[in-house]
Amino acid sequence: DTGVSQDPRHKITKRGQNVTFRCDPISEHNRLYWYRQTLGQGPEFLTYFQNEAQLEKSRLLSDRFSAERPKGSFSTLEIQRTEQGDSAMYLCASSSLAGASYNEQFFGPGTRLTVL
Amino acid sequence: EDQVTQSPEALRLQEGESSSLNCSYTVSGLRGLFWYRQDPGKGPEFLFTLYSAGEEKEKERLKATLTKKESFLHITAPKPEDSATYLCAVQDSGYSTLTFGKGTMLLVSP
Sign of the dihedral through C-alpha A14, A18, A23, A29: positive
Per DSSP, what are the bridge partners of residue B26? B3
pLDDT tens-digit map of A62-72? 999 999 999 88
| Nearest residue of B to residue A58, measured between CA atoms | B97
pLDDT tens-digit map of A6-63? 999 999 999 999 999 999 999 989 999 999 999 999 999 999 999 999 999 998 889 9
Give the per-residue pLDDT at B85: 98
- Tell me how crowded residue A59 is: count the other CB atoms within 10 A of its CB: 5
CB nearest B43 (choices: A42, A45, A108): A108
Per DSSP, what are the bridge partners of residue A92? A34
Q: Is B85 exposed, middle or buried (0-12, 13-18, 19+ CB in 10 A)?
A: buried
Q: How far is B100 from chain A (nearest CA, A)?
A: 5
Backbone angles phi, psi at B43, to 5 degrees: -75, 160
Answer whether B44 sits within 8 Å of A43, measured CB to CB: yes
Q: What are the distances in angstroms from CA B12 to CA A70, B7, B8, B93, B103? A: 46, 13, 10, 35, 14
Taking a C-beta distance cutoff of 8 angstroms, is the pair B66, B50 a contact?
A: yes
Distance CA A42, CA A113 (A): 16
